[in-house]
Amino acid sequence: MPRVCEFCGKRTRVGNHVTRRGLAKAKGGVGRRVTGRSKRKFEPNLQLVRAVVNGSVKRVRICTRCLKSGKIVKPS
């Protein structure tokens, strides 16, 4: 099952972790130098919750932003 929000479509994104060394120029150094880049993932904060979808209760994977904004209706 993919890590995707079923309401807004938010999914895993990829980026880089940048490693630097040195002292910033503003602090009196010669500047920061990039010494390496490695791949990393930004994963959405998904929760498995029970929600009313099309009149029936089912479990959905939903991101916390959709959960907080009230895009789903929880069963009572």
21 located within any domain:
yes
Residue 76, pLDDT score: 81
How does pLDDT run across 23-76, given as a tens digit for each residue? 999 999 999 999 999 999 999 999 999 999 999 999 999 999 999 999 999 998
Q: Which long-range contacts (CB under 8 A, 24 or more apart) does 49-55 make?
A: 49/74, 50/74, 50/75, 51/75
- In this structure, are residues 6 and 62 in contact, taking their beta carbons and an 8 Å threshold? yes
Residue 28, pLDDT score: 98
Residue 26, pLDDT score: 98
| Number of separate domains in the chain | 1
What global pTM score does this model have? 0.74
Per the structure, the complete domain to which residue 42 belongs is given by: 13-69
pLDDT at residue 1 is higher than 80: no
CB neighbourhood size of 15 (10 A): 10
Q: What is the CATH number of the domain that holds 21?
A: 2.30.170
55 located within any domain:
yes
6 located within any domain:
no
